[in-house]
């Protein structure tokens, strides 16, 4: 299915890279031969990073080769040369200069970038957009469970991965992990931990009086055990939140330690915040640059913390939607549609831009204002998890991403 890949890559100026695979997804109609069994001897790790607030994909991965880019972006346009030059990817797309680690991983074949991507959601509410992204449903309003939780629940019972549960980082777990399957929780500690005797007494009391609290506490205790065995200190620290580089690093370090542990969860989700850059977004420097630098540092933390299992790891970075193609009246960007997603890790068949570029002329924009989405993020996610965990197309289309039968798993993402 991706035999044409190399040809496509050589067609770079036409912006049709990977179209072979992207086109195939609409023709998807068979159960893949690797259903369940073909996960083989790999012990995969999958981490989903949600960027809350809507990442400006046109600044993170600027299409500097597009003749309409510079005029649309005006004061915040990135340049291919000069003191803060963007980092070259394929001669048409560049990477924001605040992301040298991602550039290195891309160059070494360990990262792919999906552009002009979106979920099926076409309005512009952050909160509905995040709900759709995380619930995996076709539209908003169905938030009982998240798609990573249903993914775990869809794996064969007794399967090691499902028994280990899904890790949701944060005091408030992201929707994408919520649901019936076991959820583990962890957040960078800020308080001195309570003694184990008090914990046991409360487990006892909740066991008699309150099944909901009992379940939550027992899962917290399980995670803490893994954290202790994997050598995390548990020492309380202050420091930045998930919208600062420091906070992102602590979250990434913690998630990597837990997911990298022998007895740890294999699937995790975490969220970084602050991407809603309505005003004074900045170009090569400024607010968005700081956030992208934080994300870049977190990717390096994953690579470092997961070193022994990096070859079996995929980190997927997604956001609820993109931002307006044109810079707004306050040197920022308003809510838009198409944006980027990143696939990073030793298991990624990387070094590729995965894109069917729609162009930036007024008539090529969605609603005459946003980057038009040409790739459905669900197809990308389905492609990654089907190859990592051996889930079949029908299971993915019915349980994990309900109503997504028309969007097949994109093939050839995982090497």
Partner 1 sequence: MASPSDARSDSVGLQRFGLGFGLGQSAEIRSSVRDRLLAEIDRRTPPQPSGVPFSGAAEIGAALYAFEDRERIEREARRTTESKVAAVPAASSNQMAQPKPANEPALPYKTYRDEVSARVRLALEAETGLSERLVQFWSNHFCVSATKSNMTRIMAGAYEREAIRPHVFGRFEDMLVAAESHPAMLDFLDNRLSIGPGSPVGKRRKRGLNENLAREILELHTLGVSGGYAQIDVTNLARIITGWTVVGREAVLGFPGSFAFNAGLHEPGTPPLLGKPYGQPGKEKGLAAFSDLARHPATADFIAIKLVRHFVADDPSPALVRDLSAVFRRTEGDLAAVSRALIESNAAWTAEPTKIRSPQEFLLAAFRALGRKPDFGQVIGPLNAMGQPFWQPSGPNGYPDSNDAWASPEGVKTRIDVAAGWGRQAAGSVPDPRALTEDILGPLLSPQTRAAVARADSKPQALALMLMSPEFQRR
Residues at the site binding partner 1, with contacts judged by CB under 8 A? 52-53, 74, 123-128, 140-141, 168, 170-173, 175, 178, 183-187, 189-195, 197-199, 201-202, 204-206, 208-210, 212-213, 216-217, 219-221, 223-224, 241-243, 273-274, 276, 278-279, 328-330, 332, 334-335, 367
**Distance of alpha carbon 68 from alpha carbon 58, whole angstroms:** 12
Residue 185: Cβ within 10 Å count: 19
Q: Which residues contact 379 (CB under 8 A, 6 or more apart)?
A: 22, 25, 407, 408, 409, 410
Would you say 37 or 198 has its CB closer to partner 1?
198
Please give the backbone phi and psi of residue 159, each rounded to the nearest 5 degrees, phi first: -65, 135
> Least distance to partner 1 from the beta carbon of 93, Å?
27
Would you say 1 or 214 has its CB closer to partner 1?
214
Would you say 154 or 223 has its CB closer to partner 1?
223
**Distance of alpha carbon 151 from alpha carbon 135, whole angstroms:** 11
Would you say 34 or 206 has its CB closer to partner 1?
206
Would you say 102 or 270 has its CB closer to partner 1?
270
Strand boundaries in 355-405, DSSP class E = 375-376
> Least distance to partner 1 from the beta carbon of 260, Å?
19
Angle between helix 245-260 and 211-229 (nearest 10): 90
> Least distance to partner 1 from the beta carbon of 1, Å?
37
**Distance of alpha carbon 105 from alpha carbon 111, whole angstroms:** 5
> Least distance to partner 1 from the beta carbon of 204, Å?
7
DSSP letter for 181, please: S
> Least distance to partner 1 from the beta carbon of 261, Å?
17
> Least distance to partner 1 from the beta carbon of 218, Å?
8
Would you say 164 or 382 has its CB closer to partner 1?
164
Would you say 262 or 367 has its CB closer to partner 1?
367
Task: Please list, residue by residue across 370-403, b when 16 or more beta carbons sit within 10 angstroms of its beta carbon and e when fewer do.
Answer: bbbbbbbbbbbbbbbbbbbbbbbbebbbeebbbe
Pairing type for strands 183-186 and 267-272 reads unpaired
> Least distance to partner 1 from the beta carbon of 368, Å?
11
């Amino acid at each position: 299915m991706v035999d044409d890949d190399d040809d496509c890559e050589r067609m770079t100026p036409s912006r049709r890279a990977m179209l072979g695979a992207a086109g195939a997804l609409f023709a998807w109609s068979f159960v893949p031969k690797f259903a369940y069994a073909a996960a083989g001897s790999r012990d995969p790790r999958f981490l989903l990073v949600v960027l809350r607030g809507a990442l400006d994909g046109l600044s993170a991965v600027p299409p500097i080769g597009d003749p309409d880019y510079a005029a649309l972006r005006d004061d915040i346009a990135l340049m291919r040369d000069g003191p803060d030059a963007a980092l070259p990817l394929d001669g048409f797309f560049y990477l924001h200069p605040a992301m040298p680690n991602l550039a290195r991983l891309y160059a070494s074949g360990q990262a792919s970038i999906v552009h002009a991507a979106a979920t099926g959601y076409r309005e512009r509410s952050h909160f509905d957009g995040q709900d759709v992204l995380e619930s995996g449903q076709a539209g908003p309003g169905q938030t009982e469970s998240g798609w990573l939780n249903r993914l775990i629940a869809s794996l064969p019972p007794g399967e090691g991965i499902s028994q280990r549960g899904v890790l949701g980082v944060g005091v408030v777990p992201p929707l994408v992990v919520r649901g019936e399957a076991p959820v583990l929780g962890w957040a960078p500690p800020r308080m001195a931990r309570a003694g184990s005797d008090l914990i046991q007494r409360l487990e006892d009391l909740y066991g008699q009086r309150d099944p909901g609290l009992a379940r939550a506490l027992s899962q917290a205790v399980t995670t803490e055990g893994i954290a202790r065995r994997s050598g995390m200190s548990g020492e309380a620290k202050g420091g930045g939140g998930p919208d600062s580089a420091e906070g992102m690093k602590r979250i990434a370090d913690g998630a990597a330690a837990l997911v990298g542990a022998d007895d740890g969860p294999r699937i995790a989700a975490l969220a970084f915040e602050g991407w809603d850059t309505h005003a004074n977004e900045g170009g090569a420097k400024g607010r968005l640059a700081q956030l992208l630098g934080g994300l870049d540092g977190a990717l390096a933390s994953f690579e470092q913390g997961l070193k022994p299992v990096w070859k079996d790891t995929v980190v997927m970075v997604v956001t609820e939607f993109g931002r307006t193609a044109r810079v707004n009246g306050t040197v920022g960007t308003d809510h838009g549609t198409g944006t980027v997603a990143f696939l990073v890790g030793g298991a990624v068949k990387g070094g590729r831009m995965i894109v069917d570029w729609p162009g930036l002329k007024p008539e090529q924009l969605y609603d005459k204002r946003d980057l038009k989405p040409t790739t459905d993020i669900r197809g990308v996610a389905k492609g990654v998890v089907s190859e990592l965990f051996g889930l079949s197309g029908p299971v993915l289309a019915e349980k994990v991403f309900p109503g997504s039968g028309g969007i097949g798993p994109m093939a050839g993402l995982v090497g």
